[in-house]
Amino acid sequence: MGVRENPVANLGGAVQFLLPAQTTMTKIPMFIRLTVLLGGAAGFLSPASAQTAEQIIAKAREYLGGEAALNAIQSVHFVGTLDIEQITSEGPKVEKFGLEMLVQKPCQQLIVSTSPESIDITGLNDYDGWHRLQTGSGPGRSQLNLYSPAQIKRLRANTWENLYFFKGIEQQGGRVEVIGPAPVGDHPAVKVAFDHGAGIVFYHYFDPATGKLLLSETDQGGTTRNEGELMVNGVRFPQKVLQTSKSLDAKGQVAERKLVMTFVSITCNEKFPDSDFEIPILSLSSRPAAAPAAGK
């Protein structure tokens, strides 16, 4: 059985979760990408832009909370709910889940989505990436798969985006490039590419005056916007993340998917043991119990 890929990927001063285009409705998102934080790096000046990448990133980090507050973040723990709506030829279908996500420096991530029928877990422990789906308590009800090197690279990029607040991507072998002015609706914005290599690119649209993140896109075509605000440890986090993407429905036909993550709790700088992120053996992690019941 092939490993399913399920990105929900960006959180940060604006949380952003990205789903892969090939994910079907029956597959729960696995890579949750937070975009509120994001980190940038080297500056490549575009003729179309009056600001360098360093200037844009500095302004974005200041908007999120400033250097001291952002540099102090070692881990982020999100708890909330996840609603997934898929529009098909047969009409909309909505699934609801409890949601818990952990990201911890230098490169660890755990995403748990729960429903009355299943517990879906995606984990990353540095260079080990895995997915576990539990659909019941009986024998054969639990499936464990390991991610491919390409999937792990994307998970690592997502984790970096959620922990480093746009700063230092060049230290991971990536780069930042200012694309230029690109309005978001009627709002002026500057488009910046965060290139992680291996074809993994996140495009972020910033307000040139304030540094606020207005919109994010992935190289796979998904878009993410943030609504509301929660201040935690002096850092701005989104209260709600809205994501749209194209995916395949159960019949293999392209359908639009809408994902809404609503956070009821965000905690920074808890210390999580490595065992929370390591590849599980047989027993199901006890952590999913912490996630709220779907629809609560």
Task: Read off the pLDDT of residues 106-123 as tens digits, 9 standing for 90 and up.
Answer: 999 999 999 998 999 999
In which band, very low, low, confident or very high, does the pLDDT at 91 lie, cut at 50, 70 and 90?
Answer: confident
Q: What is the pLDDT of residues 126-157, one digit of tens each?
A: 999 999 998 876 556 789 999 999 999 999 99
Domain boundaries, the chain: 7-282
Helix, strand, or coil (residue 150): helix
Handedness of CA 174, 176, 182, 186 (dihedral sign): positive
Q: Between the CA of residue 111 and those of 87, 166, 268, what are the distances in Å? A: 25, 21, 16
DSSP SS3 for 32 = strand
Architecture in CATH of 7-282: Clam (2.50)
pLDDT of residue 44: 37
Residue 204, CB-side half-sphere exposure with 13 Å CA sphere:
34
| Residue 168, Ramachandran bin (φ over 0: left; ψ between -120 and 50: alpha; else beta) | left
For residue 214, what are its two tokens? Answer: 């207005």
Burial class (CB in 10 A: 0-12, 13-18, 19+), 20: buried
Residue 248 has a pLDDT of 67
Amino acid at 82: L
Q: Indicate if the pLDDT at residue 286 is higher than 60.
A: no
Lowest mean per-residue pLDDT among 164-168, 192-196, 248-252: 248-252
